[in-house]
């Protein structure tokens, strides 16, 4: 028995998390999910990254739209509009059930870890999906307009305002019991950083008490799957964020960002030319097809990431 800890953000990360859950038995995997994107909207606690991971693992995710739950409709939101409520963040009717169930359970005193275990259990997900923290850590981005809550910038402003800085309100905060336990497992054999935005999906996890130190002093391989394909982010504002920081949109930037943490970077064929320079930084590189369209893609990439971490599958 040996355990894998995956750190994941939303959509891209969720795909690899689903792949890992397809190739590893439940007792061998903990998926710790970013909650820096979470926010309170219309009285509901919305956890976009947890929901992306949960929907992907339950096979409920909308493959075509790329986010949310399949077979969605928007009738509650339409009526909320008629009642004069905010329309900038769309919540689907089927998705709404997650937010309602989560919010009332949190208000009733359950931790986000408890609620997440309850919801994944109800959906038949046997693998451990845990929030990065039970404390409300909230990503904020600094723009010309001042500090904006992440979703206001990401969805409300469609990522348009230039990002001058990023901070995580709510720090210091402890990692969730599930993340802390996975980091401390004597049988921990590999750590995988899923292909998620380093700045807003992975950094919030690294910023939790003791997490970066635990990763820096790790005795097991840490492999990251690059979120870049052909020098672009498949989805989300990563390319824009890199440019606004004066950084190149390539895997050197990714490797530098994870400096001291990374043993192995898995990059796409389209970016194979950067392998040499990344290796020169002391990081091993594997080159593969990292775009995950099918369940087979997800499982194959998961296997490749585990292989890169030297993980012996049962």
Widest Cα–Cα separation across the chain: 59
Q: Does 103 bind a copy of itself (CB under 8 A)?
A: yes
Instruction: Please state, in angstroms and rounded to a whole number, the distance separating the CA atoms of residues 98 and 161.
Output: 30
Q: Does 67 bind a copy of itself (CB under 8 A)?
A: no
Would you say 136 or 210 has its CB closer to a copy of itself?
Answer: 136
Q: Does 107 bind a copy of itself (CB under 8 A)?
A: yes
**Distances in Å between the alpha carbon of 105 and those of 24, 110, 132, 202, 232?**
30, 6, 18, 26, 39
Instruction: Please state, in angstroms and rounded to a whole number, the distance separating the CA atoms of residues 290 and 310.
Output: 19
Shortest reach from residue 148's CB to a copy of itself, in Å: 20
Q: Does 93 bind a copy of itself (CB under 8 A)?
A: yes
- The residues facing 92 across adjacent strands are none
259 Cβ contact list (under 8 Å, min separation 6):
281
Shortest reach from residue 96's CB to a copy of itself, in Å: 5
155-174 positions binding a copy of itself, by CB under 8 A: none
Shortest reach from residue 42's CB to a copy of itself, in Å: 5
Q: Does 1 bind a copy of itself (CB under 8 A)?
A: no
Q: Does 125 bind a copy of itself (CB under 8 A)?
A: no
Of 191, 60, 207, 188, the residue nearest 139 (C-alpha): 207
Q: Does 79 bind a copy of itself (CB under 8 A)?
A: yes
The binder of a copy of itself chosen from 70, 97, 243, 248 (CB under 8 A): 97
Instruction: Please state, in angstroms and rounded to a whole number, the distance separating the CA atoms of residues 172 and 212.
Output: 13
192-231 positions binding a copy of itself, by CB under 8 A: none
Q: Does 80 bind a copy of itself (CB under 8 A)?
A: yes
Q: What would the x/- binding string for a copy of itself be over residues 5 to 44, using CB under 8 A?
A: -------------------------------------xxx
Shortest reach from residue 53's CB to a copy of itself, in Å: 15
Would you say 107 or 167 has its CB closer to a copy of itself?
Answer: 107
Run of H or E residues at 51: helix 48-58
- Distance of alpha carbon 275 from the chain centroid: 24
Instruction: Please state, in angstroms and rounded to a whole number, the distance separating the CA atoms of residues 99 and 43.
Output: 9
Q: Does 109 bind a copy of itself (CB under 8 A)?
A: no
Shortest reach from residue 132's CB to a copy of itself, in Å: 22
Of 166, 175, 167, the residue nearest 213 (C-alpha): 175
Cβ pair 258, 203 in contact under 8 A: no
Q: Does 101 bind a copy of itself (CB under 8 A)?
A: yes
Q: Does 142 bind a copy of itself (CB under 8 A)?
A: no
Q: Does 84 bind a copy of itself (CB under 8 A)?
A: yes
Phi then psi for residue 180, to 5 deg, are: -60, -40
Instruction: Please state, in angstroms and rounded to a whole number, the distance separating the CA atoms of residues 168 and 172.
Output: 9
Binding site for a copy of itself (CB under 8 A): 42-44, 69, 73, 75-80, 82-85, 93-98, 100-101, 103-104, 107-108, 118-119, 121-123
């Amino acid at each position: 028995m040996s355990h894998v800890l995956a750190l994941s953000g939303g959509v891209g990360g969720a795909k690899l998390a689903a792949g890992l859950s397809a190739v590893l038995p439940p007792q061998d995997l903990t998926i710790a999910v970013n909650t820096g994107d979470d926010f309170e909207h219309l009285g509901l606690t919305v956890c976009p990254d947890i929901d992306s991971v949960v929907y992907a693992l339950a096979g409920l995710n909308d493959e075509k739209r790329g986010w949310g739950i399949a077979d969605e409709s928007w009738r509650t939101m339409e009526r909320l509009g008629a009642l004069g409520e905010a329309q900038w963040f769309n919540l689907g009717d089927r998705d709404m059930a997650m937010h309602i169930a989560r919010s009332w359970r949190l208000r009733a005193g359950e931790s986000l870890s408890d609620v997440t275990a309850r919801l994944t259990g109800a959906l038949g997900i046997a693998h451990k999906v845990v929030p990065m923290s039970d404390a409300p850590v909230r990503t904020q981005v600094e723009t010309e307009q001042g500090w904006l809550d992440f979703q206001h910038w990401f969805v409300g402003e469609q990522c348009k305002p230039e990002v001058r800085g990023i901070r995580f309100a709510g720090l210091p905060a402890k990692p969730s019991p599930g993340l802390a336990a996975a980091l401390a497992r004597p049988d921990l054999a590999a750590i995988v950083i899923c292909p998620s935005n380093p700045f807003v999906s992975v950094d919030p996890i690294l910023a939790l008490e003791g997490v970066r130190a635990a990763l820096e002093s790790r005795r097991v391989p840490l492999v990251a799957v690059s979120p870049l394909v052909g020098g672009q982010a498949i989805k989300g504002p990563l390319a824009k964020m890199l440019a606004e920081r004066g950084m190149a949109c390539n895997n050197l930037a990714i490797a530098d960002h994870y400096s001291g943490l990374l043993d192995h970077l898995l990059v796409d064929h389209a970016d194979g030319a950067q392998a040499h320079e990344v290796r020169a930084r002391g990081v091993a590189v594997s080159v593969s097809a990292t775009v995950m369209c099918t369940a087979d893609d997800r499982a194959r990439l998961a296997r490749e990431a585990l292989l890169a971490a030297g993980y012996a599958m049962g």
